[in-house]
Amino acid sequence: MKIFPAIDIKGGKCVRLLKGDFANLTQYDKSPLNQANTFVNFGFKYLHLIDLDGALEGRLTNKNIIQNIAKINNIKIQVGGGVRSLEQIDQLLNVGVDKIILGTKAIEDLNFLKNACEKFKGKIALAIDVRNGFIALSGWKKQTDILASDFIKKVDGLDISRIIYTDIDRDGTKSGPNIEGTIKFSSLTKIPIVVSGGISSIQDVINIKEKKSEKIEGIVVGKAIYDESIDLKELSRIT
């Protein structure tokens, strides 16, 4: 089980949102780079980075910060937020990013997703962010009428390395992840799934691990780390 500590970047700072609401934002003292180093020092091998400015503006905004984090030894980072072109994907991979998370552009333009998967084999992850089963886009500001369960049928044959499946109504709430909903979704595809949204405790992580679903590759953990509901040392022991 891969654990992905999360770093959300806005205005050059580490932040967390509640249910994707930019009006309900908490800013933290550590810089994104210092926070990344903290995670690495605890032994984590993977990081989940989201450029929230990029997600809102539709362009790479915090590339320099991401580049500095990518230079840290012994870490693999997946990055999303505002990636809208093959050129941007190429730029991020060239600075050391391991996986590129595509969301809005990939959902709205399947040809773009297909081309990205073909050109950057094994490097494309897909963000599927849902409210009540329906996909939301553009930093979760744009709600669609596209069911995630319908959309996955259109892309299941593509070379997508993993799907980050986020229940927006759980995100930042520490109310517990939507385990059953995520596992149900995972049964619709052969693509590995990363659980995101609502992780509140070590027990939540253990509960997901104990499901022993072959489709569940990992877990993104955010808010519970930052308010110290989860002990990093304890979390780092779970693989």
What are the pLDDT digits (tens) for 115-162? 999 999 999 999 999 999 999 988 778 899 999 999 999 999 999 999
Which ranges of 71-201 does DSSP label H, i.e. alpha helix?
86-94, 104-108, 110-119, 148-155, 179-186
Is 17 in contact with 53 (CB distance < 8 Å)?
no
pLDDT at 202 over 80: yes
Query: Hey, CA dihedral for 176, 179, 182, 184, is it positive or negative?
Result: negative
Q: pLDDT by residue (tens digit) across 28-77?
A: 989 999 999 999 999 999 999 999 998 888 788 899 999 999 999 999 99
pLDDT at 176: 83
204 is catalytic: no
The fraction of the chain above a pLDDT of 90, given in percent, is 76
Q: With contact defined as beta carbons under 8 Å apart, do 185 and 156 qualify?
A: no
Q: Is the pLDDT of residue 175 over 80?
A: no
Asked if pLDDT for residue 237 goes beyond 80, the answer is yes
Could you tell me which residues are beta bridge partners of residue 147? 134
Mean pLDDT of the chain: 92
Length reported for the chain: 239
Q: In this predicted structure, what is the pLDDT of residue 173?
A: 72
Q: Which of 53, 129, 171, 204 is catalytic?
A: 129
Q: Is the pLDDT confidence value at 97 over 80?
A: yes
Note down the domain range covering 47.
Answer: 2-236
Q: Is 52 exposed, middle or buried (0-12, 13-18, 19+ CB in 10 A)?
A: buried
- pLDDT given for residue 186 in this prediction: 94
For residue 221, the domain's CATH number is 3.20.20.70
Number of domains in the chain: 1
Residue 212: pLDDT over 90 = no
The question of whether 129 is a catalytic residue gets the answer yes
Of the ranges 131-140, 159-168, 217-226, which one carries the lowest mean pLDDT score?
Answer: 131-140
